[in-house]
Amino acid sequence: MSLPALFDVPAPAKLNLFLHVVGRRDDGYHLIDSLMLPIDWCDTLHFERRSDGRLARHDLGDPLPADDLCLRAARALQQAAGMPLGADISIEKRLPSGAGLGGGSSDAASTLLALNRLWGLDWPLERLLPIGLALGADVPFFLDPRPAWVTGIGEKREPVAGMPALALLLANPGLALATAEVFRAFDALAPKAIPSAGAPRALARELADDRSLAARLHNDLEEPAVRLCPPIARLRAQLRATGARAVGMSGSGATLYGVYADRAGAERAATALTQPGGGWARVATTWESR
């Protein structure tokens, strides 16, 4: 069977519907409990196989970062497989960096998945997972992007069945936050670690009830994120005023999201939201679990 020489793949954003920090390992990595959901806002990655073994990015616009996650992912897979083939990689970038939406991690995961196919490796997911985890704690989730209860440092995933699609308005004050910096601010607050309670069995039912939903959308990183980026608090108040069923923060911020009864409600809220220069808002929907 002949292999495809080129193709495009999506790299979706994710949302932390809630996030609890439940401990810290001896190596400094924090342990979390979180419900992570993929959303229908994606980068698009284009891959074309090369026979000379070279890996290259060909994006237009801003200079590539020196520590580019896509190239790191491609090199890691190439080395692990002893692969003589290479690839040309380009990205139509839509997801903002430093927003708590996992855009870089999703791009890295999509790179591993695409090259696994483009190079004819056909490795199972279990073989790609350790490569992904070495690139970042969120990468394993994006190797199988579906609603999941995520624990450990991000490497343990338990798919959650029956999750409904949620209509969202994502909003960001136009400021990027570094995850490491937010965790340092979290540690400076000297919080008491909360033991993991395990995945609740009635998540879908809880999320259908506004009171339960509002109680669920707690993110332990929001307080330190607000200390580093005070506009988050003002933006939260604005989202609440638009009639959201509940408001939460994704990842380490600074992106907040409101959950609405339907997409039309989210779109009405987007027109009512006022943002300072550089701020942005985006209507999105979570993917239902299948």
- Give catalytic residue positions: 14, 138
CA within 13 Å, CB half, 118: 29
Q: 75 and 134 in contact (C-beta within 8 Å)? A: no
Which tokens hold the place of 51?
Answer: 């026979």
> Which residue, among 12, 16, 21, 51, has the nearest Cα to 35 in the 3D structure?
16
Cβ-based neighbours of 159, under 8 Å, separated by 6 or more: 144, 146, 147, 148, 289
Indicate if the alpha-carbon torsion angle 36, 31, 107, 172 is positive or negative. positive
Residue written as tokens 């209509």?
167
Q: How far is CA 100 from CA 27, 93, 116, 265, in A?
A: 23, 16, 27, 23
